[in-house]
Structures are given as C-alpha cells and as structure tokens.
Amino acid sequence: MTKFLTLLLFLVTTSQTQAALENTTCKKCHPTIFAEYQNSIHSKASIFKDAVHKAVWDKHPAKAKNNYKCAKCHTPSDHDLIAGKSKLTENEIQKTEPISCQACHTIESVEKHTKANKNKFTKKKKYFYSADQVKKGTKVVFKEESHFFGMFKNKVGSPYHDIDYTNENYYNGEMCMGCHSHKQNGKGFVICDLEVKQGDSKETCISCHMPKVQGTMANQVHTATHAFHGASIHNATPKELSKYIKLSLEQKANGFEVAIKNETTHTLFPQPLRLNQLKVSIEREGKIIPLKTESFIKIIGTKGKPAMPWLADTVLSNTLIKAHETRKISYDTNLQKGDAVIIEFGYYMVNPKAAKKLEITDKSVTEFIVLTKKRINI
C-alpha cells in the first residue's frame, strides 16, 4: 500500500512538474534549437543557475522581504511568481526555463517606459510570432488540407501551433528591448543602458546574436539552417561576434595609436559589473614588454564614491565605447623594425574589485576573456 502511494505520489508530482514546463513540448519538434537553448544565458537567468545574478541578489535590500523584483526580466516564465501567487523558490522553471521559448515567442509588443520597458504578451493560446523574409506578412494557421477525397494530405505550418510572421518586432530586434533596453534603480537613476543606435547598420540584435547556423529548425520540415538559440557571453564569447570589433594600429611621430572600431549598434559592455579592457604589449627580441592597460568602464556611485547599483545616483566616470564609435588610444613607445605588437580586446564578466565585494571567486567569472586579438608585425 505504501509502495502504491509512493508511486502515486511520484506520478502526481512528476506529471505536475512536466505539465508546468512549457519547453517540453517544443523539444519534440525543435530538438536542435532546444539543445542550443540549454547552453544559453536565457535558460540560466535565475539566481539558481547564474552565480553572478545570485551574488548581487544576495546583497540586494529587497531580498530581506523576498520581494524578487527582477522576475519580469530574469524569470518571466515563473507565472505564479509574476502573478504574486508564490514567492521565489527553487522550482523546475527557475532551474531550466526562466525565460522559456514561449516567453520570447509570445511578445506581441514592447511598451516604452522610463524606469524600464515592459513586454506585452499575446493572450492567444499556442500562437507564436517569428520572422521569415519569404513568409513575412502572413499568418499560418495549422490545417491539414485534403485532396482527392482524403487520399493525399498536405500539411501546412506547424502541427502544434499557429505562426504569425507579421510582427515587425521580430525583424528589427525590437522584441529584445522589453528586457534589454535600459533599467533605472529605485532612485530613478539609470544603472544600465544599451543606448542602441541603428545608424546605417544592416545588422540587428537578432542577426548578430542569433546568426543562422547549420541544421533544420524543426523535425517536420527540412531547412538547411536555423537561427542560433544559444546566446551567452558566459560560456565563451561567440567567435562570430568578434568580427564586429575591428582593431588597427597606426604609427605616429611619437609612438603609435591603436584604434577600436565598434560596429555593433550598442554601447559595449554597459552592464555595471563588466570591465572592458584593451591590453597591448610589444614582442621585441624574444621578450614581452607590456604597455599600459586601458579600461572602458562606467563607474556609478553616490557621494563621489563607487556604490552598488541600487544605491547609485551619479555617474562618476564613463569611458564606455558607444555604438559605431572608433576609439583611439595613444602609446608613447616608439616601435622598431622587427617588433610585433600584440593587441587584446576583452572583458571581465565581473570587475575584479566588484567580485571581491560580492565574494565571487569562480574562475570563469574572474578571469580576463579575450573577445578579439591581433598581432601586428612592424
């Protein structure tokens, strides 16, 4: 009897967690995209999977009241938490799909606000937005068309859901901006702003961060490529992205100049914990001569001193590289024939100074990550 009850309990609890997980159904027909998503930061945006987010939350004043205000961007798929029906707990949604497939594919529009933008989701069931240049403007409702008295069946669309290809936000990247645009703290001070400027770039958030990679997008159709769903700067910096940062060197009368050209449509590394740096050294007669390291950083604080994001009310300094900007850094060392100049442009996930305050020691977070590197022979 107890065995039976245990089994029953097991079945009830497992079926409940299964039912609550939205991505499980998508996995059956979109296995490649589902697998990529497992490595993406969007599948790990909760405190239970992102040690950095947790470290900051642990120090945040709202934690004492367990008032997890971060949910609307970090864990929008924990619907009970969003609706105020439950508090933040370590459940399967938090651990595996805090920003689920549906959280992104049901964003109908993005409302603009000064504090932070807001996602407006469609209320229609099994109704997903997507982008396809050929199908643009159409809405595909799943139906099975019968011909010749049902002898041949022609399947149109997905056998599970409708697809709406009319939403412009999925073509221009606006659908990312409900979460990614900017954020103010309780004092109305902007702590993070991507400062997007499209300029005349043909690239969007989606074309750069979700580039087309090999493999079919669904089991039932055979497409050569699909949009990459593994976006993360945690695992490793995606190689395809480094091509948008161009490094060059020019010799001057006194020394030389290194130029960094930002071809992205946003400020580089605006997240307040990041530290973006340029490291330059000269290889001369078998020896390495390190030159000054240049930091690109926005320091926020209060009363003239750096402070945690929720306390900050002023910008103490800002040397971040803006969209489409070319930043030039001068070095007063004269180069000699036979020298090789090694230029490294990269970042720390967490500024070592902040890491100390937050008691973060994880190597993957505290080590310098090279985004792009160049060796120039003189």
Closer to ligand HEC by CB, 168 or 332: give it. 168
Task: State how far the Cα of 43 lies from the Cα of 26, in Å rounded to an integer.
Answer: 14
Closer to ligand HEC by CB, 34 or 368: give it. 34
Rg (alpha carbons) of the chain, rounded to whole number? 24
DSSP per residue, 5-61? HHHHHHHHHHHHHHHH-THHHHHHH-HHHHHHHHTSGGGS-STTT-HHHHHHHHH-G
The CB-of-292 to ligand HEC minimum distance in angstroms stands at 23
- Considering the rule CB under 6 A, would residue 320 count as an interface residue with ligand HEC? no
The CB-of-339 to ligand HEC minimum distance in angstroms stands at 28
Among positions 21, 93, 190, 205, the unique one binding ligand HEC when judged by CB under 6 A: 205
Closer to ligand HEC by CB, 173 or 291: give it. 173
Restricted to residues 149-188, the positions that interact with ligand HEC (CB under 6 A) are: 157-161, 163, 170, 173, 175-176, 178-180, 183
Restricted to residues 346-375, the positions that interact with ligand HEC (CB under 6 A) are: 349, 371
Closer to ligand HEC by CB, 264 or 282: give it. 264
Closer to ligand HEC by CB, 213 or 340: give it. 213
In 3D, which of 234, 226, 210 has the Cα closest to residue 31?
226
The CB-of-44 to ligand HEC minimum distance in angstroms stands at 6
- Considering the rule CB under 6 A, would residue 206 count as an interface residue with ligand HEC? yes
Task: State how far the Cα of 147 lies from the Cα of 168, in Å rounded to an integer.
Answer: 34
Task: State how far the Cα of 110 lies from the Cα of 117, in Å rounded to an integer.
Answer: 7
- Considering the rule CB under 6 A, would residue 76 count as an interface residue with ligand HEC? yes
Query: Which residue is listed with tokens 């000054």?
Result: 292
Restricted to residues 286-305, the positions that interact with ligand HEC (CB under 6 A) are: none
Where helices occur in the chain by DSSP H, the ranges are: 2-20, 23-29, 31-38, 51-59, 71-74, 79-82, 92-96, 101-105, 169-172, 177-180, 205-209, 239-242, 352-358, 363-366
Closer to ligand HEC by CB, 210 or 258: give it. 210
The DSSP output letter for 194 is -
The CB-of-291 to ligand HEC minimum distance in angstroms stands at 23
DSSP per residue, 293-312? EEEE-EEEEETTEE--TTT-
The CB-of-326 to ligand HEC minimum distance in angstroms stands at 14
- Considering the rule CB under 6 A, would residue 69 count as an interface residue with ligand HEC? yes
Closer to ligand HEC by CB, 205 or 258: give it. 205
Closer to ligand HEC by CB, 256 or 296: give it. 296
Task: State how far the Cα of 111 lies from the Cα of 120, in Å rounded to an integer.
Answer: 7
Restricted to residues 96-125, the positions that interact with ligand HEC (CB under 6 A) are: 99, 101-105, 116
In 3D, which of 74, 78, 101 has the Cα closest to residue 163?
101
The DSSP output letter for 268 is S
Q: What string marks each residue from 210 to 249 as x (binds ligand HEC by CB under 6 A) or -?
A: x------xx-xx----xx-x-xxxx--xx--x--xx----
In 3D, which of 274, 230, 254 has the Cα closest to residue 371?
274
Span of 12-20, 27-35, 88-96, 326-334 interacting with ligand HEC by CB under 6 A: 27-35
- Considering the rule CB under 6 A, would residue 325 count as an interface residue with ligand HEC? no
Among positions 48, 74, 96, 291, the unique one binding ligand HEC when judged by CB under 6 A: 74
The CB-of-90 to ligand HEC minimum distance in angstroms stands at 15
The CB-of-304 to ligand HEC minimum distance in angstroms stands at 24
The CB-of-77 to ligand HEC minimum distance in angstroms stands at 8
Amino acid at 332: D
Task: State how far the Cα of 286 lies from the Cα of 281, in Å rounded to an integer.
Answer: 12
CB atoms within 10 A of CB 173: 21
- The site for ligand HEC, by CB under 6 A, has a size of 89
Q: What is the length of the chain? A: 378
Among positions 266, 275, 298, 300, the unique one binding ligand HEC when judged by CB under 6 A: 266
Closer to ligand HEC by CB, 233 or 342: give it. 233
